[in-house]
Amino acid sequence: MKQPIISGSSRIRRTPYSKRVEEAGVKSYSVYNHMLLPTVFDTLENDYHHLKRAVQVWDVSVERQIEIIGPDATKILQMVTPRDISKMEDDQCYYIPMVDKYGYMINDPVAVKLEKNRYWISIADSDVIYYFKGLAEGMGLNVNIFEPDVNIISIQGPKSKILIEKMFGKEISELKFFRHGKVNFNGKEMIVARSGWSHQMCYEVYVDGSEYGQEMWDKFFSIGKDFDIRAGCPNLIERIESGLLSYGNDINGNNTPYEAGLGKFLSSGVSKGCLAYEILQSKMEPQRLIKPIEITGEPIKPITYSLKVSNADSEVVGQISSAAWSPDFKVNVAIGMIDREYWKQKNNLYLNISENDRRKIFIKDKFWS
């Protein structure tokens, strides 16, 4: 069935790279943070294979930044995350589960510390900026919160390191994971982070100023022409294989960080500065959990919506939220939220893909890559 077309509107913002993305032959979009996010260029599988063997340039401007600056910047950031950020250094990025005062997730952004009491928060799909502003106003905090004109280009794939080295030098290409460094592009200081939404070698260039966008894009393609460089985008198959969660799809405001499998970021305990400190103490042993799941049978079409998981008695015991056929692992891979008593692989669990397609599924011990 042919997918419907997204009609243009002033309510859906274009990015500084939209023209180049269209010239590269984008075939489908999603809408994320009121902006266009490419989802396929060639085919889902061909994009997947190219991502794993070469280098891609992703327009991920949809990862909108929230700048938080002022004497209370660290305080307000700690209030919304149970992860302890007190030892975060000025060149570090932290993955921070964000929660409300009841301990339920409202986002799962990456925080970039630029200097003391100044951060960029790279948010997943939601209007979190209003939550920060409301909290600052209600608590009387001395902080300025706004959306800077920053649009990320992500460089992804095994050849990304050599491309970044040619573009910005060896010091930047050798950055440690979740560290960032400063570069100069046409007289403008910008941030490059060793991060990205895949398990390939990846970097994110925080292009500071829309006017630099197309020029930055074009220079990457000029330098990368010998590396089979292409425009790309987050790939559903690779994301599932890697266990990378999509907020709003795999996890949402009904889940705690522990249910989302993010307890590893809270290994030192919930920070006492978090508004949900006390209530999260009672939620450390989740009754449901994100799990990697194998769906048996022939290859399935991509799934990006919720499907119920049932036991042998047809009782609902969880759901699958993302699934696809993996060309490399030759199985149907999936991400799902499963009730605690069914976490073991030996349980008989089933997924109704359609009225006439019921599949047995298996809970895996770990994700595929």
In this structure, the strands spanning 55-59 and 229-232 are parallel
Burial 202-215 (b: 16+ CB within 10 A, else e): bbbbbbbbeebbee
| 10 vs 22, more confident | 22
Question: CB neighbours (10 Å) of residue 286?
Answer: 18
Q: Which CATH number fits domain 18-64+149-240: 3.30.70.120, 3.30.1360.120, 3.40.640.10, 3.10.20.440?
A: 3.30.1360.120
DSSP secondary-structure letter at 317? E
For the chain, the domains span 18-64+149-240, 65-146, 287-369
Is the pLDDT reported for residue 43 higher than 70? yes
Which amino acid is present at 157? G
Confidence band for 66, pLDDT divided at 50, 70 and 90: very high
For residue 305, what is the DSSP state? Answer: S
- For residue 15, give both structure tokens: 């990015």
**Tokens of residue 58, six digits:** 């992703």
- Residue 2's pLDDT is what? 61
> Does residue 228 have a pLDDT over 60?
yes
CATH architecture of 65-146: 2-Layer Sandwich (3.30)
DSSP state letter for 69: E
What's the Cα-to-Cα distance from 111 to each of 67, 114, 119, 229, rounded to whole Å? 10, 9, 7, 29
Looking at residue 3, its pLDDT comes to: 63
pLDDT of the residue at 124: 84
Please check whether residue 78 is in contact with residue 121, taking contact to mean a CB–CB distance below 8 angstroms: no
The pLDDT tens digits for 288-316 are 999 999 999 999 999 999 999 999 999 99
- Tell me the pLDDT band of 27, cut-offs 50, 70 and 90: very high
Q: For residue 57, is pLDDT > 90?
A: yes
For residue 105, what are its two tokens? 């997730």
pLDDT exceeds cutoff 80 at 68: yes
Q: pLDDT tens, 131-160?
A: 999 999 999 999 999 999 999 999 999 999
Query: Are 57 and 231 a contacting pair, CB within 8 Å?
Result: yes
Q: Please check the confidence at residue 8 and state whether its pLDDT lies above 80.
A: no
Q: How much is the mean pLDDT over the chain?
A: 95
pLDDT of residue 9: 79
Flag the least confident range among 51-55, 237-241, 265-269, 282-286.
Answer: 265-269
pLDDT tens for 88-99 read 999 999 999 999
The answer to whether the beta carbons of residues 217 and 17 sit under 8 Å apart is yes
Task: Return the percentage of the chain with pLDDT > 90, whole number.
Answer: 92
Percentage of residues of the chain with pLDDT beyond 70: 98
What's the CATH superfamily of 287-369?
A: Aminomethyltransferase beta-barrel domains (2.40.30.110)
- Give the pLDDT score at 267: 77
Residue 359 predicted with pLDDT over 60? yes
- Residue 300 corresponds to which tokens in the numbers above? 């399935």
Side-chain-facing half-sphere of 175: CA atoms under 13 Å: 29
Write the pLDDT tens digit of every residue in 99-112: 999 999 999 999 99
